[in-house]
């Protein structure tokens, strides 16, 4: 598969900028992923997203299942803190 970081266990960090249609401002964000080891064709990952200047973080849990060489199913659970 092309997106190795989604499927390889470990810690991944990233950053970027995002814009929203309601505002011309570009906001910087930081993200941290913790990818767990695949168990029975299921991968669980935790993501934390922090917006620069923001007071709260978004925590996502992604569960990837039914994985084949060309596809997978994903469930997403969001928790804003």
Of 9-13, 54-58, 77-81, the one with minimum mean pLDDT is 77-81
Tell me the mean pLDDT in the region 69-78: 85
Distance CA 51, CA 49 (A): 7
Tokens representing 38 are 């695949």
Q: pTM score, two decimals? A: 0.75
| Domain with residues 4-80, CATH architecture | Beta Barrel (2.40)
Q: What is the dihedral of CA 31, 62, 56, 17, to 10 degrees?
A: 40
Domain ranges, ordered by start, for the chain: 4-80
Residues 36, 43 contacting (CB under 8 angstroms)? yes
Backbone angles phi, psi at 31, to 5 degrees: -135, 145
Q: What is the dihedral of CA 10, 13, 19, 23, to 10 degrees?
A: 110
């Amino acid at each position: 598969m092309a997106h190795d970081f989604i499927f390889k266990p470990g810690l991944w960090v990233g950053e970027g900028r995002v814009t929203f249609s309601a505002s011309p401002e570009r906001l910087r964000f930081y993200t941290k992923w913790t990818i767990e080891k695949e168990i029975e064709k299921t991968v669980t990952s935790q993501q934390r997203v922090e917006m620069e200047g923001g007071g709260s973080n978004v925590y996502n849990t992604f569960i990837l299942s039914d994985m084949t060489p060309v596809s997978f199913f994903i469930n997403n659970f969001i928790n804003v803190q």
